[in-house]
Amino acid sequence: MTDINTLKNEISAQVSASADLQALEEVRVSALGKKGRVTELMKTLGDMDPEQRKTQGPALNALKDEIAALIEKQEKALKKQALDQRLVNERMDVTLSVRPERKGKIHPISQTMEELVTIFGAMGYSVAEGPDIEDDWHNFTALNFPPGHPAREMQDTFFLPDDPEQNGEHAKKLLRTHTSSVQIRHMKANKPPFKIICFGRTYRSDYDMTHTPMFHQMECLHVAKGITMGHLKGCLTDFVQGFFGIDDLPVRFRPSFFPFVEPGAEVDIGYFKKGDGIQLGKAPTPEDQRWMEILGAGMVHKNVLINGGVDPEEYQGFAFGMGLERATMLKYGIPDLRTFFESDTRWLNHYGFDPLERPNSATRG
């Protein structure tokens, strides 16, 4: 019994003296571990005679429980002490002003796409997609310009090796020259009526201040029963006035040729000279009114509807396609198209949009 009491006093003193959790763990191992002092003592029970074991057994078990309880108590105290210490050391001053951070900017093309989604979404259009790598059939032939058609020359592009698993014009791979190929893909995969817009990268063998080898277009397609040129004019007028945020922005339709529409038109918006620059809108006098082309449009050609699997006797449609860079340059006063894709962060800081404070013409009343 004396031994047990001495051991208890010694281990208790060691527990109380443990200043951190690691020291306490060492004490636990030395007392209650596999080769700990209490454990060793318990092992001697087997060699004792029954009388001795009767008294020593409960005493040793009680010692073991008491030491375990002491260790647990000390562990709780040390954990609380460590937490209190952290709370003191890691205190945060919530009154400090915000540290200036480098924020990213939204590219003007992304901004324009989002505005267009909002405007056309409100008119009931959904967004369709198509691949950048197209085949000759979807990009040209199905749109009514078969091989050898002179209109192909206006859209020279980048050609890829033929796809050995396809035949004819389906095998000829190229980077799409316009998003009009998505008209065909959408018509083939769905049943009319359709009301879709589509955005995407388009490619041509061009390079100057207003033309780059890669640019973006938006396509619009509305196919339903009884669609007329009047629907096209109404839709386009609402869209450009909403997008540019000018309620009386003049819109002009000029007859033009695209193989995939009949009749076809080029759409211009009005501007006038002001000081050294220009201003979009209605000129103060008719003589001052100037016009700028922004997109091509028309009624979907009968052959295109047939190639898309749509019966032209039953359904009619309109379509238009717009260069997104051109529209963005006009809206935000950006002078050179080539700068859109130079990845100059100074340019992006100047012309880009704060993700949290983005203007949106579509949210006007």
Binding status of residue 320 toward ligand FA5 by CB under 6 A: yes
For residue 102, the minimal CB distance to ligand FA5 (Å) is 31
Query: Which segment (67-75, 99-107, 232-240, 317-325) binds ligand FA5 by CB under 6 A?
Result: 317-325
Position among 130, 250, 281, 298 found at the interface with ligand FA5 (CB under 6 A): 298
For residue 318, list its beta bridge partners: 222, 299
Q: How far apart are the first and last CA of the chain?
A: 92
Position among 107, 172, 173, 204 found at the interface with ligand FA5 (CB under 6 A): 204
For residue 116, the minimal CB distance to ligand FA5 (Å) is 14
Nearer to ligand FA5, 51 or 153 (CB): 153
For residue 317, the minimal CB distance to ligand FA5 (Å) is 10
Q: Give me the residue whose beta carbon is nearest to ligand FA5.
A: 323
What is the footprint of ligand FA5 within residues 205-234 (CB under 6 A)?
206, 211-212, 215, 217
- What is the total count of residues that contact ligand FA5 (CB under 6 A)? 22
Position among 120, 187, 325, 329 found at the interface with ligand FA5 (CB under 6 A): 325
Query: Which segment (24-32, 41-49, 65-73, 313-321) binds ligand FA5 by CB under 6 A?
Result: 313-321
Position among 8, 28, 326, 331 found at the interface with ligand FA5 (CB under 6 A): 326
Please report, as ranges, the residues that interact with ligand FA5 according to CB under 6 A: 178, 180, 204, 206, 211-212, 215, 217, 258, 261, 264, 295-298, 319-321, 323, 325-326, 337
